[in-house]
């Protein structure tokens, strides 16, 4: 995914993370990162947009680095 594609994501888009947890996209950090909130975690995770793939119907998955 590119940062431009990430900017088109709706707030709170769900994403499956590498550690099998689900999170919600809540921040866009220019030029190449997203902030993801995982329920139950206090800190926001930072994920590079190139590690994210769209797998269909708006579903997102974090790919292995």
For the chain, the domains span: 3-62
Q: Could you give the 3-state DSSP secondary structure of residue 34?
A: strand
What are the distances in angstroms from CA 53 to CA 16, 24, 32, 41, 62?
10, 14, 14, 23, 6
The strand pairing partners of 15, in sequence order, are 23, 60
Tokens read off for 1? 């995914």
How much of the chain is helix, strand and coil, in % rounded to 5?
Answer: 10, 45, 40
pLDDT in tens, 9-65: 999 999 999 999 999 999 999 999 999 999 999 999 999 999 999 988 878 999 986
Global pTM value = 0.89
């Amino acid at each position: 995914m590119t940062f431009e594609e990430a900017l088109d994501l709706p707030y709170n888009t769900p994403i499956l993370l590498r550690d099998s947890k689900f999170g919600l996209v809540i921040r866009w950090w220019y030029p190449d990162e997203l902030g993801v909130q995982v329920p139950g975690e206090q800190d926001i995770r930072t994920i590079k947009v190139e590690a994210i793939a769209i797998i269909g119907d708006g579903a997102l998955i974090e790919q292995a680095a």
